[in-house]
């Protein structure tokens, strides 16, 4: 039987999967892929064939959670992957690898136990990532499972960019800036030279999905990033605050009597686009709404991006190219338009026709700084790392 690699990417609002043929060479595109998205709101399972033909588009139960969504996905895969290829390895996106894991690693009981220690540092991701590993291990006993880390790409950051201004003993314990979305940044770094002659220069990549972060690169390596110890820091997100004065947390504890669990819920699940709009965490819904609170949520989302781009450009001494990616970065032309409109001073001039037409280059020919929109492909990075470790 011919062979395949399965990839699993459990994000905060979605679970994505892809199956890649492995006939000697790893196929560049999956023969079957799909996702459950809209977790937490109106979840759907969508899948497509190699030819891009839609072979599933099913609404799932209202309010379905990650664990039940995983079962639905694996059930669907069992039914559709039958008599097809033999899955010889499963590659997982695992959000937090801490200080210990800067390379992909084969999962066993010991590594899973080590990775469970980071659950509190990534509560929207790490438990779902590890539950996915366990679910697959039960379905495909003996098949190697590989963890690919979101934190790994950022291990090249200079020491200063990884430091918090806290007592050294805490830093020595590992309380420092890690950064996330590394598989997405690694993919963009891999393909950017095909799209821009400035790829090797000063580049800021904005990964704008339900989770959102930015990475400043030089020589296609991470120099600074907006997320830190956890995936709450930096930009405003679907349900996460982004950077918040730590004094707010003290106020919540001392004046509102909130405990750690309640604060975690507020910071991770009730804030961001959802908290400010009071309507939804989903950018599509907010852009379509005429509620002023929805408009203010989108305004704040764009404002925070603009501000963070200024900060990251300062860290790398300027900017030659700005890249948008992630669900919002790839599709929300209006968000790109608003961000670029505020960055004329950094030499960005958007081409409105290109921005609306699905082109990779969205800045004008005369723009001093290039702007690009490039779809990310975390699955392809996971598949390659998995093949390499096999
Ligand atoms: N056509 C679109 N226009 C605007 N926003 C979109 C569009 N398609 C997807 N999005 C937004 O992308 C976000 C999800 O991004 P994605 O990267 O898939 O999420 P995750 O962080 O779970 O991986 C949601 O806010 C969604 O509304
Ligand atoms: C790290 C993170 O926020 O991931 P996602 O965007 O998939 O939620
Ligand atoms: Mg994602």
Assess: ipTM above 0.95: yes
Percent of the chain with pLDDT strictly greater than 90: 86
CA of 210 to the centre of ligand 3 (A): 7
d(C-alpha 211, C-alpha 95), whole Å: 12
Short-list 161, 289, 281, CA closest to 212: 281
Q: Are residues 366 and 242 in the same domain?
A: yes
Per-residue pLDDT, 54: 94
SS3 17: strand
Phi-psi map region of 255: left, alpha, beta (phi>0 left; psi -120 to 50 alpha)? alpha
Q: How far is the CA of 64 from the centre of ligand 3 (A)?
A: 18
Instruction: For residues 263 and 343, state if they share a domain.
Output: yes
Ligand 2 and 210: CB distance under 6 A: yes
355 is in an annotated binding site: no
pLDDT, position 74: 87
According to DSSP, residue 161 is labeled G
CATH number of residue 287's parent domain? 3.30.420.40
Regarding whether 221 and 138 lie in a shared domain, the answer is no
State the closest ligand 2 atom to the C-alpha of 240, by its place in the atom list counted from 1: 3
What residues make up the domain containing 216? 196-373
pLDDT per residue as tens digits for the range 346-365 = 999 999 999 999 999 999 99
In a domain, 315, yes or no: yes
150 catalytic, yes or no?
yes
Ligand nearest to the CA of 13: 1
Same domain flag for 140 and 56: yes
Candidates 17, 149, 181: which one to mutate for ligand 2, based on the most atoms within 8 Å of Cβ? Answer: 181
Closest-CA residue, ligand 2 atom 2, reads 211
261 annotated to a ligand binding site: no
Domain-ending residue, one of 149, 178, 205: 149
pLDDT(83) > 80: no
267 in the same domain as 202: yes
User: What is the number of helices (H) and of strands (E) in the chain?
Assistant: 14, 14
* 11 C-beta closer than 6 A to ligand 2: yes
CA 390 – CA 388 distance, rounded (Å): 6
- pLDDT tens-digit readout, 279-318: 999 999 999 999 999 999 999 999 999 999 999 999 999 9
* Whether residue 240 sits in one domain with residue 91: no
How many structural domains are present in the chain?
2
Question: Do 21 and 143 belong together in one domain?
Answer: yes
Bridge partners for 140 per DSSP: none
Q: Is residue 84 pLDDT above 90, yes or no?
A: no
Q: How far is the CA of 255 from the centre of ligand 3 (A)?
A: 35
pLDDT tens, 9-35? 988 888 999 999 999 899 999 999 999
């Amino acid at each position: 039987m011919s062979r395949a690699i399965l990839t699993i990417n459990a994000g905060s609002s979605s679970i994505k999967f892809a199956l890649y043929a492995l006939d000697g060479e790893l196929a560049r595109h999956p023969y079957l892929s799909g996702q459950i998205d809209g977790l937490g709101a109106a979840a759907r399972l969508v899948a497509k064939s190699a030819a891009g033909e839609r072979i599933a588009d099913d609404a799932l139960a209202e309010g379905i959670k990650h664990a039940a969504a995983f079962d639905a996905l694996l059930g669907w895969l069992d039914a559709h992957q039958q008599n097809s290829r033999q899955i010889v390895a499963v590659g997982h996106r695992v959000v937090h690898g801490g200080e210990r894991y800067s390379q992909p690693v084969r999962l066993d009981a010991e590594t899973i136990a080590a990775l469970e220690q980071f659950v509190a540092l990534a509560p929207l991701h790490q438990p779902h990532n590890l539950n996915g590993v366990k679910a697959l291990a039960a379905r495909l006993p003996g098949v190697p499972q590989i963890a690919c880390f979101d934190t790994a790409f950022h291990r090249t950051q200079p020491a200063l960019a990884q430091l918090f201004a806290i007592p050294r003993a805490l830093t020595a314990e590992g309380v420092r800036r890690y950064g996330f979305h590394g598989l997405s940044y690694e993919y963009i770094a891999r393909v950017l030279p095909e799209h821009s002659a400035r790829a090797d220069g000063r580049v800021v990549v904005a990964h704008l999905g339900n989770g959102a972060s930015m990475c400043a690169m030089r020589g296609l390596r991470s120099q600074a990033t907006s997320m830190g110890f956890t995936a709450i820091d930096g930009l405003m997100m679907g349900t996460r605050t982004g950077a918040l004065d730590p004094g707010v947390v003290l106020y919540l504890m001392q004046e509102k009597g909130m405990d750690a669990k309640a604060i975690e819920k507020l910071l991770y699940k009730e804030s961001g686009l959802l908290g400010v709009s009071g309507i939804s965490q989903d950018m599509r819904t907010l852009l379509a709404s005429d509620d002023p609170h929805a408009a203010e949520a989108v305004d704040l989302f764009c404002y925070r991006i603009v501000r963070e781009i200024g900060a990251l450009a300062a860290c790398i001494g300027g900017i030659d190219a700005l890249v948008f990616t992630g669900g919002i970065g790839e599709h929300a032309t209006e968000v790109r338009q608003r961000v670029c409109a505020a960055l004329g001073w950094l030499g960005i001039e958007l081409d409105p026709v290109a921005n609306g037409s699905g082109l990779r280059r969205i800045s004008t020919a005369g723009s001093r700084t290039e702007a690009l929109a490039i779809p990310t492909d975390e699955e392809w990075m996971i598949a390659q790392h998995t093949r390499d470790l096999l």
